[in-house]
Amino acid sequence: MAKAVRVHKVGGPEALIYESVDVPAPGPGEVRIRQHAVGLNFIDVYYRTGLYKAPGLPFIAGNEAAGEVVAVGAGVTNFHPGDRVAYYFTLGGYASERVIPADNLVKLPDHITYEQAAVLMLKGLTVWYLLHKTFKVEAGHRVLIHAAAGGIGLLACQWAKALGARVIGTVGSKAKADLALAHGCDHVILYNEEDFVARVKQISRNELCDVVYDGVGKSTFPGSLSCLRPRGLFVSFGNASGPVPPFALAELNNHGSLFATRPKLNDYVSTRKELLEGADTLFAAVINGKLHVPINHAYALKDAAKAHTELESRATTGAGILRP
């Protein structure tokens, strides 16, 4: 029987219950997959706590994974049993088997492992749209990336560097600083010990940054605004420390006619064409050696609560996966 990690009542890590589940046969347009690696994401924490609303209770946690097709429903012609696949941002990921719309899947190239794919489909696609679509990072741009040693962070630092940017990262410990430096950061700031705004001013000789990528939220606001040059872009894409509080629009004026956006993956990857464009670009970046996928933590699926505890307590670096 298939196993999954379900949330019956939102709450702490103990809300993640490992149990047997029935997996139906795939309906029209659907595919059943046996999952080999499941991505661990901070977004999974938001669904577990109720900050982000799941469609109902109970729900299976998790949003990205990779595996092999075991059955296809009526009308599915582009996937077949045995195909190696991965999917992006679809709740229900913490499971040994699941049914999913075929349109959410991409096929994996031979050189991409299940573990890499399970990390690339949500975290990688997010980094892709943040650096290429939300703000087009180009050579010479100065970029600030908060939580630079995290899952998103280590991918973003590498890619921004490969695009020719000058990359400043913030991190919570010396060990994380070393990791961020090894993954493309030119400068690292220990933001729990140092005033990160003052350090950005010092590093940039008061020229500040063209763009700030902020997935930390509450604790880095409004400091992030002070790190931007006039007409720079504040990209608030997450809430690891809590949501950014409401603020007056005039703050953008006060900090130099800034722009601000609160993007999400589904709005940048909303069509099959965008999904394939993003996935192809990511897979090529990994195969060509431009992007290393740092999978620094692996847990058994049944230990999802432990994985959440470590992620929330800032004990992880890079990406984590769960093994069904």
Q: Which region, judged by CB under 6 A, interacts with ligand NAP, from 78-86, 94-102, 118-126, 294-302?
A: 118-126
Cβ atoms within 10 Å of 76's Cβ, excluding its own: 20
In angstroms, give the least distance from the CB of 162 to ligand NAP.
19
**Rg of the chain in Å (alpha carbons):** 20
Q: Does 172 bind ligand NAP (CB under 6 A)?
A: yes
Buried b or exposed e, range 177-212, using 16+ CB within 10 angstroms: bebbbebbbbbbbebeeeebbebbeebbeeebbbbb
Q: Taking CB under 6 A as the rule, does residue 156 contact ligand NAP?
A: no
SS3 312: helix
Q: Which of residues 28-47 bind ligand NAP (CB under 6 A)?
A: 41-43
Q: Which is nearer to ligand NAP, 76 or 171 (CB)?
A: 171
Q: How far is the CB of 81 from ligand NAP (least distance, A)?
A: 31
Applying CB under 6 A, does 169 fall inside the site for ligand NAP? no
Which span (158-166, 225-233, 235-243, 286-294) binds ligand NAP, by CB under 6 A?
235-243
CA–CA separation, 220 and 190 (whole Å): 12
Rounded alpha-carbon distances, angstroms, from residue 104 to 59, 60, 94, 268:
19, 17, 16, 14
Which of 202, 219, 254, 270 touches ligand NAP (CB under 6 A)? 219
312 binds ligand NAP (CB under 6 A): yes
Q: Measure Cα distances from 10 to 47, 56, 146, 298 in Å.
A: 8, 11, 28, 24
Closest CA to 145 of 201, 177, 185: 185
Contacts with ligand NAP by CB under 6 A: the residue count is: 30
Query: In the set 6, 176, 255, 297, which binds ligand NAP (CB under 6 A)?
Result: 176
Q: Does 123 bind ligand NAP (CB under 6 A)?
A: yes
**Among 15, 265, 269, 295, interactor with ligand NAP by CB under 6 A:** 265
Tell me the CB-side half-sphere exposure of residue 60, using CA atoms within 13 A: 27
Q: Does 278 bind ligand NAP (CB under 6 A)?
A: no
Tally of CB atoms within 10 A around 146:
31
Cβ atoms within 10 Å, residue 134: 18
- From the list 9-17, 143-151, 181-189, 291-299, the region that binds ligand NAP by CB under 6 A is 143-151
Q: Which of 13, 26, 151, 324 binds ligand NAP (CB under 6 A)?
A: 151
Burial (0-12, 13-18, 19+ Cβ within 10 Å), 91: middle
- Piece of the chain touching ligand NAP by CB under 6 A; list 24-32, 95-103, 237-245, 250-258: 237-245
Q: Nearest approach, Cβ of 238 to ligand NAP (angstroms)?
A: 2
Binding residues for ligand NAP (CB under 6 A): 41-43, 122-123, 126, 147, 149-153, 171-172, 176, 215-216, 219, 237-241, 263-265, 311-312, 314, 316
